[in-house]
Structure 1
Amino acid sequence: MFDQQKQASLAAWRELAAQTQDDPDPEQRYDELLRAADAMEEQGLITAAEWRQLVRDAGNLFTHNEEQTHG
């Protein structure tokens, strides 16, 4: 059960991250990704290391989207 919930949560996070490509407000999507990562950590679904990786990934997506928008 726990593994299924973790996998489902991570899959939902990745789906949300994938939607950032066409997002008119990348900052809002970045915030949503961080909130989702925080919630998973608070629920004990992911470790602190996994949380840090998700935050890094969200930051990379945000930076990439900002460069595309303003670059």
Structure 2
Amino acid sequence: MVDDRKKQALTDWLKLLAQPEIRMDAEEQYDELLKMADAMEREGLVSEVEWRQLIRDAGVVFAQAREGLEGGT
């Protein structure tokens, strides 16, 4: 049961990481990814190590989006 919830939560997180919602800017996407990661940890779906990796991955995508905006792409 927990495995199914974890799989779905991670799938949803990865989907948002790869494709933000319509009209969602990079900061909103980042904030939502952090909230989702926090909820997964709080619910015991991911370990602290997994949570840290989710936060790092969200940070990388946020930084890349910011660089793209500043670079004019």
TM-score (norm 2): 0.89
1:69 deviation in Å?
1.0
Q: How does 1:1-71 map to 2 (within 5 A)?
A: 1-20=1-20, 25-71=25-71
**Structure 1 unaligned residues grouped into runs of 5+:** none
Structure 1 counterpart SS, 2:44 = coil
More helix by share: 1
After TM superposition, where is structure 1 displaced by more than 6 Å over at least 4 residues in a row? none
Q: In 2, distance between residues paired with 1:24 and 1:2?
A: 30
Q: CA deviation at 1:57?
A: 0.1
Distance verdict in 2 for CA 1:24–1:36, change over 3 Å:
closer
Q: Over aligned residues, Cα RMSD in angstroms? A: 1.4
The one-letter code sitting in structure 2 at the alignment partner of 1:7 is: K
Paired positions, count: 70
Please list the CA deviations of residues 2-57 of structure 1 after superposition, one character each: whole Å capped at 9, or x if unmatched. 1111011000000010114x865101110000000000000000000000000000
CA distance in structure 1 between the aligned counterparts of 2:23 and 2:29, rounded to whole angstroms = 7
Superposition TM-score, scaled by structure 1 size: 0.92
Percent identity among equivalent residues?
49
Q: Which runs of 5+ in 2 are unaligned?
A: none
